[in-house]
Amino acid sequence: MSEAGRATGKVLVLGDDTRSFLACVRSLGRAGLTVHAGPANFRSPALASRYIAAVHDLPPWMDDGAAWLAAMRDLLAAQRFDLVIPCNETALLPLDRHRAELAPLARLAIPGEAAIEVLFDKVATRELAQRLGVPVAPGRTLRAEEDAAAAIAELGAPVLVKPRHSYTLERLAVRGKVQLAEDAAQLAHAMAGADPAATLLEGFVAGRGLGVSVLASGGRVLQAFEHHRVHEHSGSSYYRVSAPLSPDLLAACEAITAALDYTGLAMFEFRRDAAGRWVLLEVNARPWGSMPLPLALGIDFPFRWYRLLVAGEETRAVAYRAGVHGRNLLPDLQSLRASLLRRELGPGAKARIAASWAAGLLRPLWGREVHDVLVRDDPRPALAELAGAAREGAERLARHIPGVPRRRARGLLRAAGRSEGRARIVFVCQGNICRSPFAAALLRSMLEPARTGNDIEVRSAGMMPWPGRASSADAINTAAQRGIDLSAHRSAWLSPAEAQAATVLIVFDETNRAALLDRYPAGAARLLRLGDIAGIGAIADPWGRGTGAYETAYDNIERAVRALAEELAG
């Protein structure tokens, strides 16, 4: 600490979201620390924060992690950070794997190895909770020969089918999907092909979502904060309210923290029904999405975490106001829209939802609501978020104006065909195993051999950092029927060099487009959607949807690539 009472160190925060990442950045920056960012999304509004001094481009962890490790080691050696804070599993798990190599270069704000083994494994978390007498939902791991009807009878309906790990280092590009099965048929579908050892079946517990956030040192809770979800949508909450600490929930957190000798931040998720019965759902052993609310109420979890890890200071618990709401405005608007579009809700129910949401907008007038993104001392992230939403809206509108997408696509292709030197056309989808390799091979087959060898290079890549995967059997068979051999194809990640060198970047749907621009914003002027060339719009990803989906996708790709080849020839 400096003589003025402000910190003078330097911290690297890995992430880019407008919730946990931005809360950490603001907390540390306000304390006087120099904050650097390591994002995956370079269009994130959070990067506009006044408290970010530098942004670093680190490669994603993939293959054996060698490229990521080399880049991280070089960055830590050059910058001499006091602390590295990962705000998500995709940043935390690589740090855990390489803690022996990186710990001598900077302190790592990650749990101990024993805590990671338990808290990042839903089955292990349940088992620890049960040993400690902490209630959990009825559940168990999937059996090898599971009968869906019997499972429904045992656990009740609906049943949640959960991956044991949300992320694994081996499949870091893919988040495990939680599925809700209302009946035996849905459950059988959700279980199909699942790995029994890596899958958890859990009975759904109705009630309200609660969270207890803690800062702990050596198994002792130094500070706790409780919030209750107000609006919930697709497993997330973008509107919540501070609440007094519940002694029974806090005791459960303290028992688990003590059992793991835990040091660091964690958020314990619970669900409580109308009768007051509650269960532990999971533990987030990293910065969490609801952190802006306690930060706004004076519970400065990130900076106190920094002081604990860097200076060994165990700060005292402080009180906070209950009944203050925290809102992440744009996502909460999106969840409202989703609720109003639900067909099973009648007009009366929808009117009540809209009225309740609108009434909440008055709370800031009497100091009972704070916003995650819009804050007085750091308004630029909120302004960037609004500007981004406006741009997206304008682009969506333009895509629906007849003729506009096709004219833009044709203009880009004609410019590529007339460009001096060798043109590079790169097809980009998510995994580079279905659509992009087929489109690239098809275009090469349609162009004159002399052109593809001399003045036009055609390539494909994916935004998912999971290289070396083969195309699926459905992709290989459907492509073979159209004269294209994908049997030797292996997926590749779209590297910065490949993205920069491309004359034209061709995507297939809005998911591809957003993923590409998040990573390479400068590619916007060279980006087009393949279906726009032929006036057919987005070409959906057929992966995992059966032979019929592949046939439809490949028919659309063939039609669009033919039009593309004609434009290049012209």
Can you read off the two tokens belonging to residue 106?
């900077």
Query: Catalytic one among 19, 30, 435, 513?
Result: 435
Q: Distance between CA atoms of 253 and 285, rounded to whole angstroms?
A: 12
> Residue 563 CB: number of other CB atoms within 10 A?
20
Choosing from 24, 253, 429, 434, the catalytic residue is 429
Q: Are 294 and 226 in contact (CB under 8 A)?
A: no
- Give, in order, the Cα–Cα distances in Å from 8 to each of 13, 82, 244, 377, 427: 16, 10, 34, 20, 47
**β 52-55/34-38 pair status:** parallel
> What single string gives the DSSP state of each residue in 323-339?
S-EEE-HHHHHHHHHHH
CA distances from 207 to 278, 279, 284 (A): 8, 10, 20
Residue with tokens 């309906």: 157
CA 10 to CA 153: how far, in whole Å? 55
Residues 315 and 4: their CA atoms lie apart, in Å, by 19
Is residue 76 within 8 Å of residue 98, measured between CB atoms?
Answer: no
Tell me, what DSSP letter sits at residue 308? I
CA 364, 370, 374, 376 dihedral sign is positive
Determine the Cα–Cα distance for residues 82 and 263; give it in Å rounded to an integer.
17
Instruction: Tell me if 93 sits within 8 A of 102, measured CB to CB.
Output: no
Q: Please tell me what DSSP assigns to residue 185.
A: H
Which H or E element spans position 357?
Answer: helix 347-360
Q: Is 248 a catalytic residue?
A: no
Quick one: which H or E segment has residue 96? helix 89-97
SS3 content of the chain, % helix, strand, coil (to 5): 45, 20, 35
For residue 154, give the H/E element and its range: helix 148-155
Judge whether 307 counts as a catalytic residue.
no
Per the annotation, the verdict on 541 as an active-site residue is yes
Q: Which two tokens stand for residue 197?
A: 């050892």
Residues marked as catalytic:
429, 435, 541
